Amino acid sequence: MNFPFRIAKRYLFAKKSHNAINIISYLSMAGVAVGTMALIIVLSVFNGFDSLIKSLFSSFSPDIEITALEGKSFSLDTLDLAKLQQLDEIEAIAEVVEENALFKYDDRYHIGNIKGIDSTYTRITGLDTMVMRGEFDLAVEPYSKTVIGQGVAYYLGIRLSLDRPLIIYMPKRTRNISYNPEQAFNERYLFPSGMFQVEQEFDSKYIFVPISIARDLLEFKNKQVTALEIKLIPGTSYSQITDKLQSLLGSGFEVKDRYRQNEIFYKTMKSEKWMIFFILIFILILASFNIIGSLTMLIIEKKKDVSSLRSMGADIHLIRKIFLTEGWMISAIGACIGLVLGILISWLQQHFGIVKLGGSGAFIIDAYPVKLALLDILLGFTSVLAIGFLAAWFPIRYITGRYVIQQHYSTR
């Protein structure tokens, strides 16, 4: 145990004649602990929500989406579908037809998207597992069925029954001008068989229909689609397969992985996380001013000790190192306490869901999601120690140089 550490430890934990300095030191330590704990918990909650929403997106967004670079649709005859299906990295391929449409139920209207899918689609995503009411049934006979988002059902007041159908209107692609607005739209009657809940943006916009009905509404040919959605073999590298598919398909198609399909969302989530991180770091910087006050009072109180040490041959660097060690100890102990409490609270929330979400079952989960990440823990702990070191280093250099050392020479 080196000399500066022993002296710093004695100053921090030994009983002093002036209790106020002890109290301020412990308050500084508590402030650092609370700030560190909040940093770990908030970052863990962000990680929890990020993982939750990514898992929800995996129930809706495919691993890979192939679309035409120009235009809204393309024919399957323009690419070698059989060659795609033979790739070792691909597990399944689904044909998709998607377009905006007008929905009507009773006297209510809502604008959203229809997504026509084939029988392979449930292998691409886990949407059939996200059905909260009814069942995932897209039968065409004896009557056509549809699966709708919970938000669409809310806006239209839809009930899962066979007494009233959902009417879908799609503008005709013909150029003939008609004075009767009803003749300008293709329409189909479908009966809702189930409601799914993924995420508000999707739930309030999408309904799923058989791909044959979507093609009829859009007046598409039999092999015409707006996208191909692909399920990859687990463990496949997204970057490698996207480059491989892009090279195979050519410049007329665009290959998007799950990140590029929801690029704005992922960037927003990442930006929000870092913004919160820097806000909490700023709060920790403000809390570190307590360390400055504590060390300032300690240095002023220990002027006689410093004079004695100087008389015994201690140089200014050793004296500064003593007080710097004490400031760093305050930060390190506070950071360790906050780290342990933050990890413990996050672990309890992750496994037992102590803090519940409000809304009486309106959410997919009933408690705040939490996910501990080692990188966030290390980053938070390192940042707190760095702040504590700087908070001690700057005032110690200034105060010891201006007051303590000058006082020593003035008393000689």
DSSP one-letter code for 370:
-
Residue 180: CB atoms within 10 Å: 6
Where does residue 71 rank: exposed (0-12), middle (13-18), buried (19+ CB within 10 A)? exposed
Beta strands 224-225 and 74-75 are: antiparallel
Length of the chain in residues, anyone?
Answer: 412
pLDDT at 225: 96
Candidates 384, 292, 398, 316; CA nearest to 37 is 384
pLDDT at 178: 59
pLDDT at 391: 79
The Cα 234–Cα 338 span in angstroms is 38
pLDDT at 175: 57
pLDDT at 56: 74
Tokens of 364: 């997919």
Tokens of 143: 């009557």
Phi–psi pair at 206, nearest 5 degrees: -100, 145
pLDDT at 189: 94
Q: Which parts of the chain have pLDDT scores under 70?
A: 1, 3, 9, 11-12, 14-19, 174-182, 302-303, 305-307, 309-310, 313-316, 358-364, 398-412
238-295 confidence digits (pLDDT tens): 889 999 999 999 888 999 988 888 888 888 888 888 898 999 899 888 878 777 777 7
pTM exceeds 0.85:
no
pLDDT at 15: 61
Q: How big is the CA angle at 368 (ends 363 and 369), to the nearest 5 degrees? A: 100
DSSP one-letter code for 100:
E
Residue 174's Cβ-side half-sphere holds a number of Cα atoms within 13 Å equal to 8
List, in sequence order, the alpha helices (H) in 288-373: 289-301, 303-311, 316-352
The residue assigned the tokens 């390190």 is 332
285 neighbors 387 (Cβ within 8 angstroms): yes
